Amino acid sequence: MSAIGCVLFGAVGVAAQATPVKTNESFTVVSVHNPNATLAFQPDREIVFGMMDKGITRLTSASTPARAWGGLVSSNDVVGIKVFSAPGRNSGTRPAVVEAVVKGLLKSGLPTNHIIIWDRQLADLRLAGFGDLAREYGVRLAATTQVGYDPKAFYDSAIIGSLVWGDLEFGKTGNQVGRKSFVTKLVSRDISKMIVISPLLNHNQAGVAGILYSLAQGSVDNFIRFETAPKQLAQAVPEIYALPELSDKVVLCIVDALICQYEGTERGLLHYSSALNEIRLSRDPVALDVLSIRDLDRQRNLAQASSRKTAHQLYSIAALLQLGIDEIDKIEVISLETDTRQPQSAAPPNTNQ
């Protein structure tokens, strides 16, 4: 049983598979801002590409974007780009941000068939625009529910789930059925390196549909059982992320902070959104998520929206598992500006909508 689970919740039988990983020595987040990155909530692709180039070179201290990406992955790697696509192209991970990463990986020499854009559901990926992006660049598109799950890689919890079609143990019977969440074969067998890109999107239970939640929720089956209670989710998300099949492969985390949606979880609600026009990069998923939660709180205050009780335990557990740091005052944020010249065609978007 997990020591953290025992201390915090007294839960029985949580995963022993969730082994701590090395904490980043420097809790550095590079935040790149351009006030013209969006217009009427739509990204300007060329500006986004420039923001990504500037951010990745600063984070890695490389001389060029190609060398920066080449320092993260090799030409032999199969790189999975994990997106959060259920809210759609306006509120989920935006194709323009993913396209910037794809272009960088290709410039580094990675073959097109070694890049996989993936999430839980294929329909969500296509509706969010990633099918078009995959065809344009010749990269692969994959969904965990279609690829299937690995019976040898799993997260074990005493909480019994109600299995649904597609779960590895669906239709089976026995006392132990429903205790395990199995890792997708896409991650355990196919992908060697991962880049996780999450939107700056409120999540009512996790605080933010960020790096930790997005990867955990998208990588295993039988996950619905954790969505019903904050304490269950707070324990499961970081422990699933810490599974060696997942955390050992993550080389970069990116927050698509072009738009901040401070209400809703998997629905596009642009009337509850503000344009921040930022992209954030780090090797520390916890630091990125707690910064995102701070921004969500700020935007709610500005909009005089109702405050939310954040799942701080989730990020405390993540820090105890050495996935990153959850103390904002210890995070080094390097803020960069790209070309701030005003486009002649239009005024900047209203960030207080």
- Mind listing the pLDDT tens digit of every residue in the chain (353 residues)? 344 444 344 333 333 344 444 434 457 999 999 999 999 999 999 999 999 999 999 999 999 999 999 999 999 999 999 999 999 999 999 999 999 999 999 999 999 999 999 999 999 999 999 999 999 999 999 999 999 999 999 999 999 988 999 999 999 988 889 999 999 999 999 999 999 999 999 998 999 999 999 999 999 999 999 998 889 999 999 999 999 999 999 999 999 999 999 988 777 778 889 999 999 999 999 999 999 999 999 999 998 877 766 668 999 999 999 999 999 999 999 999 987 554 444 444 444 43
Determine the length of the chain.
353
For residue 44, how many other CB atoms are within 10 A of its CB? Answer: 18
Query: Could you tell me the pTM of the whole model?
Result: 0.89
Query: What is the structure's pLDDT at 4?
Result: 45
* Phi/psi of residue 276, nearest 5 degrees: -95, -25
**pLDDT for position 352:** 44
Residues pairing with 119 in the sheet: 143
How many CA atoms, within 13 angstroms, populate the side-chain half-sphere of residue 176?
A: 4
85, 87, 93, 94: CA torsion to nearest 10: 110
Round to whole Å and give the CA distance between 91 and 275: 11
* The predicted structure's pLDDT at residue 264: 80
Q: Where does the chain have alpha helices with state H?
A: 3-8, 45-60, 65-72, 95-107, 122-127, 130-137, 144-147, 185, 211-219, 230-241, 244-247, 285-303, 312-320
Specify the pLDDT at position 351. 43
d(CA 117, CA 110): 14
Q: Give the burial class of 152: count Cβ atoms within 10 A of its Cβ; 0-12 exposed, 13-18 middle, 19 or more buried.
A: exposed
Give pLDDT, residue 309.
66
Reading the block at residue 232, the tokens are 């269950």
- Which long-range CB contacts under 8 A does 134-143 form with residues at least 24 apart? 137/99, 137/102, 137/103, 137/106, 137/112, 138/112, 138/113, 139/102, 139/112, 139/113, 139/115, 140/113, 140/115, 140/116, 141/116, 141/117, 142/116, 142/117, 142/118, 142/186, 143/118, 143/119
pLDDT value of position 310:
65
Burial of 254 (0-12, 13-18, 19+ CB in 10 A): buried
- List Cβ neighbours of 198 (8 Å cut-off, separation of 6 or more): 84, 93, 208, 209, 210, 211, 213, 214, 253, 254, 255, 256, 288, 292
**Side-chain-side CA neighbours of residue 10 (13 Å):** 0
Q: Which residues contact 246 (CB under 8 A, 6 or more apart)?
A: 183, 187, 194, 215, 216, 219, 240
**Where are the chain's structural domains?**
3-337
pLDDT of residue 340: 58
